[in-house]
């Protein structure tokens, strides 16, 4: 019997069949046929059995050779030592007397199974949805459990997890999918509309290599993780980046999805213009998962993020860096990935998701770079870090402690002396250094961040959206501030929007900590901009 079929974009039709015996399916007898568009069979695979043609059946044909659902669940409970609704761990049944009601979350059917000896046995199949797993088991007439499968597969990724910025900051780990069921209700590999993938592709992110540096990759090739979604690929940093491209793509896919889910928890959702193919009827425009391109061959020592308006796909391009031998891959520097994704966040939220030109003035464009830097630092924080800790952006890929900025991020005025009026030297009639302006904005926000952490503590849980701790509250205030600020805001307007965000969210409970951070770096109450010149002010309200 044909169970399903479909045609791929390459013209091949895939047909899937089940073997039938005495009008019932043989559960593990499958045949797949691949048919070319011309109509000829190009390949097939089969687990069909010929044992059904034997003159003597491998079982006695009796009226009750299929065990009841109750007996099947009892056998399974004893075999796996688990408690099933209606059946205790001891195998004792407490089914209702009214005909044995099948408990909710349990399905049953009857058919045949080819056992380990190749015999065809009558079985009762049961499917039990236990939340954390979904068990499918087959029990024969002797009450033996012939096969057990778990339909829930935890995806595995070999990555530098959130809190480990790069190979110089900590060990690579195997992590299971950590996404939020609220932000990604069908996980990271399922769009929730019938489109499921076993590759680095899903509703939020499509990750693949672009070694040719093409402006538009017409046929992207996300890497395959198989049915088990196992993305644990070898990595050898003594070799050149293309030798470990699968590991690089995996890290890029993981970090981008984590950013989607964390930002979602703090308010960057469908209605506000986030990046998803399927918006689940929650507002905004879909069909705009992020295309993230690993090891882009169009250049070196850079990364970028293109953010069109809501409903159009953004694109992140990550490059290889040639500042060391062997060269280093930006896909392994989480801080750079976070910096770039934050460009998408700030562009979609400032002025609304359908505006594309609201971070184009000198200061606002510079702040776009600064938000990227400070968000990268916030995501790499661990419990042992404090206001005396100093960070560089891109330190790993640039092989330089200071990274790609003039100063490390520090609350120490000697190690990082930047204040608001430092922006003057980066604004000229000839050109503007947006990254330098951004580093000043991020330096100011760095003070605010640690003032909040000193007051409210630190949490490594970024996914829940809890704002009881300083670092998680900081993420929320930045996002809420972006929503509140006007198109092309100045430093003053962005500052005031963050302060307003705290007033709305916390009744100004953190007003002093926020103002002290701004004022320490010259953006106090008496700061001003006159005659095209930024003038420091250190006054508190």
Q: Where are the domains of the chain?
A: 2-48, 69-150, 156-254+288-325, 362-535
Q: How far is CA 218 from CA 164, 206, 215, in A?
A: 33, 13, 9
Check the annotation: does 325 bind a ligand: no
Is there a contact between 113 and 26 (Cβ–Cβ < 8 Å)?
A: yes
* CB atoms inside a 10 Å sphere around CB 13: 14
* 22-41 mean pLDDT: 85
How far apart CA 286 and CA 539 sit, in angstroms, is: 46
**CB within 8 A of 37, min separation 6: which ones?**
11, 12, 13
Q: pLDDT by residue (tens digit) across 468-515?
A: 999 999 999 999 999 999 999 999 999 999 999 999 999 999 999 999
Check the annotation: does 426 bind a ligand: no
Q: What is the structure's pLDDT at 64?
A: 42
φ and ψ at residue 106, rounded to 5 degrees: -125, 130
Q: What is the structure's pLDDT at 75?
A: 73
Between 15 and 406, name the one with better pLDDT.
Answer: 406
CATH code of the region 156-254+288-325: 3.10.170.10
How far apart CA 173 and CA 229 sit, in angstroms, is: 16
Q: What is the structure's pLDDT at 94?
A: 43
**Does residue 530 carry a catalytic annotation?**
no
Highest-confidence range of 74-88, 195-209, 419-433, by mean pLDDT? 195-209
* 432-440 mean pLDDT: 94
pTM reported for the whole predicted model: 0.76
pLDDT confidence band for 89 (50 / 70 / 90): very low
Q: What percent of the chain clears pLDDT 70, i.e. is strictly above it?
A: 87
Joined tokens for residue 280:
């689940």
Q: What is the structure's pLDDT at 44?
A: 80
Cα 158–chain centre separation: 14
CATH class of 362-535: mainly alpha
- What is the pLDDT of the chain when averaged over all its residues? 87
68-72, 350-354, 479-483, 514-518: the lowest-pLDDT one: 68-72
User: To 10 degrees, what angle do helices 434-456 and 511-520 make?
Assistant: 140
Query: Does position 45 have pLDDT exceeding 50, yes or no?
Result: yes
How far apart CA 100 and CA 106 sit, in angstroms, is: 13
Is there a contact between 184 and 203 (Cβ–Cβ < 8 Å)?
A: yes
Q: What is the structure's pLDDT at 100?
A: 43
Query: Does position 62 have pLDDT exceeding 70, yes or no?
Result: no
Q: What is the structure's pLDDT at 97?
A: 33
Q: How far is CA 78 from CA 89, 125, 126, 143, 145, in A?
A: 6, 16, 15, 11, 10
Nearest alpha carbon to residue 241 among 210, 268, 265, 266? 210
Answer left, alpha or beta for residue 283, where phi above 0 means left and psi between -120 and 50 means alpha. Answer: left
Is there a contact between 99 and 37 (Cβ–Cβ < 8 Å)?
A: no
* 177-194 mean pLDDT: 88
Nearest alpha carbon to residue 82 among 41, 126, 47? 126
pLDDT confidence band for 12 (50 / 70 / 90): low
Half-sphere exposure of 22 (CA within 13 A, CB side): 11
How far apart CA 473 and CA 452 sit, in angstroms, is: 8
pLDDT confidence band for 4 (50 / 70 / 90): low
* 61-82 mean pLDDT: 66
How far apart CA 127 and CA 24 sit, in angstroms, is: 17
Query: Does position 81 have pLDDT exceeding 70, yes or no?
Result: no
Q: What is the structure's pLDDT at 150?
A: 56
How far apart CA 468 and CA 476 sit, in angstroms, is: 11
70 sits in which H/E element? helix 69-80
Q: What is the structure's pLDDT at 428?
A: 77
Largest CA distance in the chain: 100
pLDDT confidence band for 96 (50 / 70 / 90): very low
Query: Does position 181 have pLDDT exceeding 60, yes or no?
Result: yes
Catalytic residue among 177, 340, 363, 513: 340
Check the annotation: does 61 bind a ligand: no
pLDDT confidence band for 379 (50 / 70 / 90): very high
* CB atoms inside a 10 Å sphere around CB 325: 8
Q: pLDDT by residue (tens digit) across 266-297?
A: 999 999 999 999 999 999 999 999 999 999 99
Highest-confidence range of 145-149, 178-182, 342-346, by mean pLDDT? 342-346
Query: Does position 88 have pLDDT exceeding 60, yes or no?
Result: no
Is there a contact between 452 and 510 (Cβ–Cβ < 8 Å)?
A: yes
Check the annotation: does 343 bind a ligand: yes
Count, residues in the chain: 541
């Amino acid at each position: 019997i044909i169970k399903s079929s479909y045609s791929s974009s390459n013209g091949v039709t895939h047909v899937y069949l089940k073997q039938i015996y005495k009008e019932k399916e043989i559960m593990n007898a499958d045949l797949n046929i691949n048919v070319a568009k011309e109509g000829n069979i190009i390949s097939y695979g089969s687990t069909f059995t010929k044992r059904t043609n034997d003159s003597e059946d491998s079982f006695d044909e009796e009226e009750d050779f299929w065990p009841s659902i109750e007996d099947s669940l009892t056998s399974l409970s004893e075999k796996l030592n688990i408690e099933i609704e209606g059946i205790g761990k001891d195998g004792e049944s407490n089914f209702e007397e009214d005909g044995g009601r099948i408990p909710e979350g349990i399905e049953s059917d009857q058919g045949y199974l080819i056992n380990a000896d190749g015999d065809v046995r009558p079985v009762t199949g049961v499917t039990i949805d236990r939340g954390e797993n979904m068990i499918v088991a087959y029990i024969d007439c002797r009450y033996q459990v012939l096969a057990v499968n778990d339909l829930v597969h935890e995806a595995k990724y070999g990555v530098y997890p959130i809190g480990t910025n790069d190979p110089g900051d900590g060990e690579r780990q195997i992590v299971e999918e950590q996404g939020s069921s609220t932000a990604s209700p069908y996980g990271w590999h399922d769009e929730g509309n019938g489109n499921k993938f076993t590759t680095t592709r899903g509703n939020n992110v499509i990750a693949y290599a672009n070694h040719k540096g093409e402006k538009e990759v017409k046929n992207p090739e996300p890497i395959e993780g198989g049915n088990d979604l196992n993305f644990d690929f070898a990595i050898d940093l003594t070799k050149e980046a293309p030798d470990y491209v699968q590991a690089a793509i995996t890290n890029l896919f993981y970090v981008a999805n984590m950013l989607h889910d964390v930002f979602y928890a703090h308010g960057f959702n469908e209605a506000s213009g986030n990046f998803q193919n399927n918006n689940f009827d929650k507002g905004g425009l879909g069909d705009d998962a992020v295309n993230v391109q690993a090891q882009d061959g169009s250049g070196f020592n850079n990364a970028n993020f293109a953010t069109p308006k809501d409903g159009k796909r953004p694109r992140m391009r990550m490059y290889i860096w040639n500042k060391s031998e062997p060269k280093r891959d930006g896909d392994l520097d989480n801080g750079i990935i976070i910096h770039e994704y934050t460009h998408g966040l700030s562009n979609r939220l400032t002025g609304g998701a359908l505006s594309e030109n609201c971070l184009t003035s000198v200061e606002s464009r510079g702040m776009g770079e600064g938000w990227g830097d400070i968000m990268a630092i916030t995501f790499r924080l661990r419990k042992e870090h404090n206001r005396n800790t100093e960070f560089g952006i891109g330190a790993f890929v640039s092989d330089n402690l200071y990274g790609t900025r003039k100063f490390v991020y520090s609350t120490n005025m000697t190690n990082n002396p930047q204040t608001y009026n430092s922006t003057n030297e980066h604004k000229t009639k000839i050109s503007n250094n947006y990254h330098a302006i951004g580093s000043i904005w991020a330096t100011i926000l760095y003070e605010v961040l640690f003032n909040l952490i000193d007051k409210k503590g630190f949490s490594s849980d970024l996914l829940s959206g809890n704002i009881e701790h300083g670092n998680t509250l900081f993420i929320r205030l930045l996002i809420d501030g972006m929503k509140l600020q006007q198109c092309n805001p100045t430093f003053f307007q962005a500052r005031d929007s963050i302060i307003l965000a705290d007033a709305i969210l916390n009744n100004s409970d953190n007003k002093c900590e926020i103002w002290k951070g701004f004022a320490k770096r010259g953006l106090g109450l008496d700061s001003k901009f006159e005659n095209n010149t930024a003038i420091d002010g250190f006054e508190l309200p």
